[in-house]
Structure 1
Amino acid sequence: MIGEQADLGLFGGGNTSTKGELPDLFGRPEPILWVKGSGADLKGCQPRHFAALRLAPLRRLIQRARLTDEEMVAFLERCLLDPNAPRPSVETLLHALLPERDIDHTHADAILSLANTSRGEALVRRVLGDRLVWIPYLQPGFALSKRVAQAYQRNPGSHGAVLEQHGLITWGPDGRTSYGRTIRYVSMAERFIASQRRRKRWSIPQRQTLPGEERMALLRRWLPTVRRTFSQARRVCLTYDDSPDVLEFVNASRMPRLASIGPATPDHMLRTKRLPLIVRVRQRSVASVSADEIVRQLRRYAADHARYVRRYRRPGQSMLDPYPRVILIPGVGMLTTGKDATEAAMAATIYRHAMAIIRNASTVGRYTSVSQRQAFGVEYWPLELYKLTLAPPEAELSRLVGLITGAAGGIGRGIAQMLVDRGASVVVTDVKRDAVERFAQALNQRAGRRRALGLVMDVTDEASVEQATDEAIRTFGGLDFLVSNAGIATVSSIDRLSREAWERSLSVNATGHFLVARTVVRWLRAQGLGGALVFIASK
């Protein structure tokens, strides 16, 4: 149930466990811990996503003074009942060392809104009472697990713990009790925040949102150069978000300072990095910002990230992609990046939650985050980066985006299916709206990710072609190839063929190819990454 509520945890964040018994090799009852595997998403978790470990040896670890990450991982693997089970969560020892049977760990927005303030401990005690223990920030691992277990021993009647900059842990004698405590304390925090927001504004607006057509015109101007810059090593997808909460945040006077403080929780950094890029517009209109200026800001961000890595890295650590995952643009909205639209949308969703936490924390107190050193410790932590290795290898056409016309049936449909199967993202278009939208949905289900966007488009109508291209750009950030497939077959002897039918045939089978190709070629030239044009025709 926890995984179904986005305000409690996102995309692999959070954890849950239970304890019980199984017969050992001699039929004697043996204590067992079942805990979520590393990287598994609580939303849709199945039994196969949990690891079962022998509990007795895990509990004896509390006698140790220290334990390295490498020693911890090796020990956990030796305690697995099934060596083929998922790698246990990095927080397994936290669940093991607590005597309570059921434990839930969430990154609830409302809890982080209290804990991520300069007076977090006092605020948590004031709002949530004294049945939750306060744990100052520690990176997940053995030290944090032992700290929480010791706090429990000093407070045996506690219901859970609030981890500074990290989230909420609740426990109980059964799953219903632990889950109920999660909901109770999160609800208490939400009610308090709502009451404070009625009395106080977190910020005043500084910018006005540009009209929709002006925002789209800027994206057309910026994105070819921006995507080329991001794609120096590997191509990326960029997704545009101009939802009301995003626009309210990017237009706020306090946004530049608050968004530069640090992540709402280090767990977000796997998808969003430590900081977003905030496009600096100063006192001028955002419409006056050129694509080249945004590129200069991107390169400064990358240079800053390189210095950050040099400052804190350990021997053997290599720098990850230095470019931002999130770009905040006053008056315009937010761009997020990823290898495809699914990954870019994950970054957008996570950062929208970060916006909510920053807004709420700034309403009830002064927003704070982890230090640069602490952030680096998680962002470049091998146990956190391990989650990325769980993704399947990228397919042949991964990261490429194509536009396919006449895709609702026949040849176009088959081409789109083949391209998605080989990893490409496709914008499938047709004059039949319902058919092409259903087809895109089927392609996404087939891929298990958002790899298709279904749009109505009349290839003979310039406005329709431009509108569909704009929607493609909003979703994928650019195009890499065109399959111009739309066509009609008019069968008639010449003496019976009407002029209307003749002109319709020319319009679709000739002018339609031209209009779509012209639009795509203009984009490909501006983007500067090469591309391909494929025309389907018959004699």
Structure 2
Amino acid sequence: MTANSQTPAQPPIASKWDDAVAAKMSEPELLLYRSNLLGSDLRVTNFGGGNTSAKVTMRDHLTGEDVQVLWVKGSGGDLGSIKLDGFSTLYMDKLNALKKRYRGLEHEDEMVDYLPHCTFNLNPRAASIDTPLHAYIPKAHVDHMHPDAIIAIAACADSKRLTEVIFGGQLGWLPWQRPGYDLGLKLEALATSQPNLKGIILEGHGLFTWGDTAKSCYEITLDMIRLAEQWLNENIKQPVFGGVKTVTLPAEQRAAIAAKLMPALRGRISADERKLGDFNDSAEVLQFVGSNDLVKLAALGTSCPDHFLRTKIRPLVLDFDPSNPDVDAVLAGLDTALEAYRADYRAYHERCKRPTSPAVRDANPIIYLIPGVGMLSFAKDKATARIAGEFYINAINVMRGANGVDKYVGLPEQEAFDIEYWLLEEAKLQRMPKPKSLAGRVALVTGGAGGIGQAVARQLLQEGACVMLTDIDAAALEEAKANLLKVGGKDAIATVQGNITSESEVEAVLTATALRFGGLDILVSNAGIASAAPLEDTTLEIWQRNQDILVTGYFLVGRGAFRLMKQQKIGGAMVFVASKNGLVASAGASAYCTAKAAEIHLARCIALEGAAVGVRVNVVNPDAVIRGSRIWDGKWKEERAASNKIDSDNIEEFYRQRSMLKLSVLPEDIAEAVYFLASDKSGKSTGNVLNVDAGNAAAFTR
């Protein structure tokens, strides 16, 4: 065990502007360039947060005249990865004309409905509610960022005075107000009345900066952030967060505790929608969760709207003492802790709701803080869970800075509610696309580096699942991951090397899966070998190797997955990839056929016990999947060719002609069958066998 250490100092934010690159760009391209640079550093703005804009002179397609057009980041999207089509374009003269339509604060939201009428060049990108905040600042280039250092100042009780002290009149200050049309008019008034300002701090929210060129705007933004960071570093009081209260456990122990807690939590919060988890034990998190001020500051909630929209207004702090790490006691108290949090959240909704407010949403926590261990975050998909955790780290940084130089102030509860349950936010949620069929599901695929394993993983990823691939071949596993990253992205695909014949390695694979994604919903047991030899030439070694991998290995993985699924209490699905040889004996392959038959019967046995806890177990029986198969690239191909007295080059044609349908069976065909049995499409099927063999009468199930 170790005491909490100070978080590592980071180098000052540096300009990445390249004049040679910028010289070749148009004004819209310069806006894109600036936006991508700003979004590339999470110290400048958080993922999906912030806005940039430029007022550009362009030719009107209808009149042929030059007009001023506002290019501004559209609704949704991320500055670090935005493309030109991510910007809305609006006529400035029409935006200015909207001032005559404005009827006051009580009619704020109706102004958003006018924005589509201002669209330039039929641009389909929807304008965001922040559009007026950019439009009415009388400068050509405007940045709106959420840097931790600036928000720390904005979230201080004495924010206005500190803004003057730190920036010496370079930045103005406005009190907290929900983003919208009226705030745009206030920004215009302050920027116009004080033309020497370089920007404005919004209390509890963030930073606006501007410039006459894209480059000057970018560099002014960085200058203000650096100035804030420097001042905070020089003036922050020690010890941070009231000093160290608890020890920090070693990294391996932290991971083990998180892996044990995550499935239990996931099962309890996934009744209406399956959740995926993320574990973070970065230095910033560990310093906060081990501090004296943890409970007090966590209860205050976050300040910046971008933060609490991702994290809820406050986290759940789990009652855990790392000096006496009793995980079982935490597990025993989860139901009580979660119900108390839900009750508090529902009471918050009841206190703050308006006559038009949407009904209360999922009342479960998103962020879970564990003293001495770290932070868990859960959301509807892995990326959202990870990003929620990153946003809470932003909030931690804000609390560190604000409480270190003054007094941290969270957003008032009613203001927080009015943003969380804003009708415009609700409309955005309602426009979200329907989730894919396996959204929120976690799958583990053994033998993941092979042709069938990769095809199965690809199919599951395409249907929205997160996939952990495991294989004994580390090099092949990395190659498979590289192939699948193009399908699912870095959040949805992970790998862990493992030998399924080793009990300890199987447990390590399952622990890695729980730690990475929060639990397990789908097991695809696909690891395999193939061997052929006449009975009298079948050695005990060959026999035992088949039994070890195809029977013992499937038992170990199946047992471990069953325990994990049972702990979650939300059901699950197992699919064993067996073989036609499990139903039909083949001469010269007794070890393989016997092991495959045992594998099928094992699946049926697990299905009997799994039904009571909602765990379905089914079998896919392939036959002669030659293309893309690592098994058929080796000795098995030669052995089966010799057994059938044909040339090995003709093996695929031989099996195709042997089938009733005269078709080749491909890895993608097996993947389709696995997906069907793993998904809710087969929700009332268990203990079944599905042959994918292009037709083999001897293998008909009876």
TM-score by length of 2: 0.74
Corresponding residue for 2:82? Answer: 45
Corresponding residue for 1:5? Answer: 41
Q: Which amino acid aligns with 2:519?
A: G
1:147 aligns with 2:186: yes
The correspondence of residues 3-402 of structure 1 with structure 2, limited to 5 A, is 3-24=39-60, 25-62=62-99, 64=102, 66=104, 68-197=107-236, 201-219=240-258, 221-281=260-320, 285-287=324-326, 289-316=329-356, 317-389=358-430, 391-402=432-443
Corresponding residue for 1:413? Answer: 454
Q: Alpha carbons of 1:202 and 1:292: their partners in 2 closer, same or farther (altered >3 Å)?
A: closer
Judge conservation of contact 2:307–2:394 (CA < 8 Å) in 1: no
Q: Which amino acid aligns with 2:230?
A: R
Q: Alpha carbons of 1:449 and 1:251: their partners in 2 closer, same or farther (altered >3 Å)?
A: same
Q: Which amino acid aligns with 2:109?
A: E
1:510 aligns with 2:551: yes
Q: 1:464 aligns to what SS in structure 2?
A: helix
Shift of 1:410: 1.9
Higher alpha-carbon deviation: 334-343 or 429-438: 429-438
Higher alpha-carbon deviation: 411-420 or 287-296: 287-296
Distance 2:96 2:289 in 1: 47
Judge conservation of contact 2:163–2:172 (CA < 8 Å) in 1: no
Distance 1:213 1:170 in 2: 44
Shift of 1:493: 2.7
CA shift digits 1:370-399 (9 cap, x unpaired)? 100010111111333444456432111111
- The structure with higher relative contact order (CA 8 Å, sep 6+) is 1
Q: 1:5 aligns to what SS in structure 2?
A: coil
Distance 1:286 1:258 in 2: 23
Q: Alpha carbons of 1:294 and 1:78: their partners in 2 closer, same or farther (altered >3 Å)?
A: same
Q: Which amino acid aligns with 1:66?
A: G
Shift of 1:172: 1.3
TM-score by length of 1: 0.95
Distance 1:398 1:179 in 2: 39
Distance 1:205 1:390 in 2: 45
Distance 1:474 1:353 in 2: 22
Shift of 1:448: 4.0
Shift of 1:517: 0.6
Q: 1:353 aligns to what SS in structure 2?
A: helix
Higher radius of gyration, 1 or 2: 2
Q: Alpha carbons of 1:3 and 1:223: their partners in 2 closer, same or farther (altered >3 Å)?
A: closer
Judge conservation of contact 1:341–1:475 (CA < 8 Å) in 2: no
Shift of 1:214: 4.2
Q: Which amino acid aligns with 2:337?
A: Q
Unaligned runs of 5+ in 2: 1-36, 582-702
Higher alpha-carbon deviation: 196-205 or 104-113: 196-205
1:425 aligns with 2:461: no
Distance 1:428 1:47 in 2: 36
Judge conservation of contact 2:444–2:523 (CA < 8 Å) in 1: yes
Distance 1:197 1:69 in 2: 39
Shift of 1:19: 0.5
Corresponding residue for 1:479? Answer: 520
Distance 1:57 1:272 in 2: 37
Q: 2:326 aligns to what SS in structure 1?
A: helix
Q: Alpha carbons of 1:195 and 1:371: their partners in 2 closer, same or farther (altered >3 Å)?
A: same
Q: 1:495 aligns to what SS in structure 2?
A: helix
Q: 1:260 aligns to what SS in structure 2?
A: helix
Q: Alpha carbons of 1:20 and 1:376: their partners in 2 closer, same or farther (altered >3 Å)?
A: same
Distance 2:478 2:355 in 1: 51
Q: 2:519 aligns to what SS in structure 1?
A: coil
Q: Alpha carbons of 1:402 and 1:477: their partners in 2 closer, same or farther (altered >3 Å)?
A: same
Question: C-alpha root-mean-square deviation of aligned residues, in Å?
Answer: 2.0
Q: Alpha carbons of 1:219 and 1:156: their partners in 2 closer, same or farther (altered >3 Å)?
A: closer
CA shift digits 1:331-380 (9 cap, x unpaired)? 22111011222111111111112111111222121111210001011111
Shift of 1:201: 3.3
Q: Which amino acid aligns with 1:370?
A: L
Distance 1:196 1:2 in 2: 26
Judge conservation of contact 1:225–1:295 (CA < 8 Å) in 2: no
Q: 2:560 aligns to what SS in structure 1?
A: helix
Judge conservation of contact 2:171–2:199 (CA < 8 Å) in 1: yes
Judge conservation of contact 2:462–2:488 (CA < 8 Å) in 1: yes
Judge conservation of contact 2:143–2:217 (CA < 8 Å) in 1: yes
CA shift digits 1:134-181 (9 cap, x unpaired)? 011000001211111111122011111011111110111111111111
Shift of 1:27: 1.8
Distance 2:515 2:69 in 1: 49
Shift of 1:491: 2.3
Q: 2:109 aligns to what SS in structure 1?
A: helix
Shift of 1:198: 7.9
Shift of 1:426: 1.3
Task: Give the length in aligned residue pairs.
Answer: 539
Q: Alpha carbons of 1:428 and 1:281: their partners in 2 closer, same or farther (altered >3 Å)?
A: closer
